[in-house]
Amino acid sequence: MTGRMLNFVAFQITWFACVLSAGGGRPIVGVLVALGHLAVHFCMVPRRRPEFALVIPAMALGFIGDSVLAALSCIAFTGPARSGPGGAVGLTTVWMVMLWANFATTLRSSMRWLRGRPVLAAGFGAVGGPLAYWAGARLGAIDFPRGLPSAALGVGVLWLGATPLLGAVERVTGRCRPAGGPRG
């Protein structure tokens, strides 16, 4: 199995673990799977610094973007993960932030085909983002308080911008190398 295929499979396993465990009322299971995936990913990549420089902004973007969607009632979290970290209403959940980290691990591997194609990345995000959230809702992890059209619009706009933005971060961080020191 190629590295890209392994990356794609790990992405899918992590996505399902996070969504199914959140839908089942045990989001910590998905968070642990995601942390395991990240640990393995960082052990396998030849250059860790650029990966950290991509995963961390993805997590921040996901936290802010999904928190805004939750505050606007476009999305809501079900079960014990309903109110976000620390019980603050309107914030996203840890398992959702881990999904953003999970997505970032694909940008240099299984989704490398988006590299340098911001329009394609925007279209992919505008369609793929809402489909992923809809699937998460079907599996009981999230809900759409204002209905599916409002959620699809909000999520679509978020991912329309996030996917090419993260693609740009991937390109910039991939070119950066420390001066005079070992790589990675």
pLDDT of residue 180: 45
Mean pLDDT of 23-40: 96
- Is 50 exceeded by the pLDDT of residue 184? no
Q: 113-146 in b/e burial notation, b at 16+ Cβ within 10 A? A: ebeeeeeebbebbbebbbebbbebbeeebbebee
- Is 60 exceeded by the pLDDT of residue 78? yes
Cα-Cα-Cα-Cα torsion 87, 69, 120, 4, nearest 10 degrees, comes to 20
CB 63 within 8 A of CB 92: yes
Q: How far apart are CA 85 and CA 81, in angstroms?
A: 8
Q: How far apart are CA 96 and CA 82, in angstroms?
A: 12
Q: Which of 1-10, 46-55, 71-80, 131-140 has the highest mean pLDDT?
A: 131-140
pLDDT of residue 1: 64
For 109-134, write each residue's pLDDT tens digit: 998 899 999 999 999 999 999 999 99
Least confident of 41-50, 114-123, 129-138, 175-184: 175-184
